[in-house]
Amino acid sequence: MGKSTYPIVAKEGWPFLGLSLLISLVLTFTHNPLSWPTWIITLFILQFFRDPARSKPSGKDLVLSAADGKVIVIEKTIDPYRNKEAIKVSVFMNVFNVHSNKSPVDGKILEKFYYPGKFLNASLSKASLENERCAITIETKSGKVVTCVQIAGLIARRILCYKEKGQSIMSGERYGFIRFGSRVDLYLPLTASIKVSLGQTVKNTETVIAKI
């Protein structure tokens, strides 16, 4: 079992945290009554952009959770990025979850898709096809393909994906971030054995979503 280690605060949050901390300190030292709300905001930013180290389970053909949150969908459907039947597992992230996204499998990125779109509540089913989103399809060494989709939400207005077509990626590798409430969809082969249930709370890297 390995452990993925990153800065305790994701790099995407440093500008927000730095600015909020500066404002809070200035207001505190000038005895401004607005200082306490700014400290609350600073603490919120700190918890939102946290990126704790995670232990990666060992095993063959495991699909790990790409996000922290709650499983809101497990269904047989069509993978719209490959036009093939697949099992879809969706994880909804609220504003209190870790929003760093980790790769669910080892492999090579076959394609990368980005679609501008709406900013509907990410817990809605139609958010998968109507919201702003970024998808990568990953082929494992055994030839299985997993599609991982970052989806913007009602508040989320920024999807960050740092990997490109043709690049290799490791399971548990940090590859993206979504600012504020959002969701991640996984499209898995029909032969996948699902290891989670609806309503279950999962953590990126640590939770096994399926075995393929």
3 state SS of 3: strand
Query: Which among 103, 168, 182, 197 is annotated as catalytic?
Result: 182
Mark 102-139 as b/e (b = at least 16 C-beta within 10 Å). Answer: bbbbbbebeebeeeeeebbebbeeebbeebbbbbbbbe
For 184, the token pair is: 């991640």
- Any catalytic annotation for residue 35? no
Alpha-carbon radius of gyration of the chain: 18
* Residue tagged 């709650």 (tokens): 70
CA distances from 104 to 57, 140, 158 (A): 12, 10, 21
CA distances from 88 to 31, 102, 192 (A): 53, 17, 10
Listing from the earlier edge strand, what are the strands of the sheet with 193-194? Answer: 62-64, 208-211, 193-194
Catalytic residues: 182
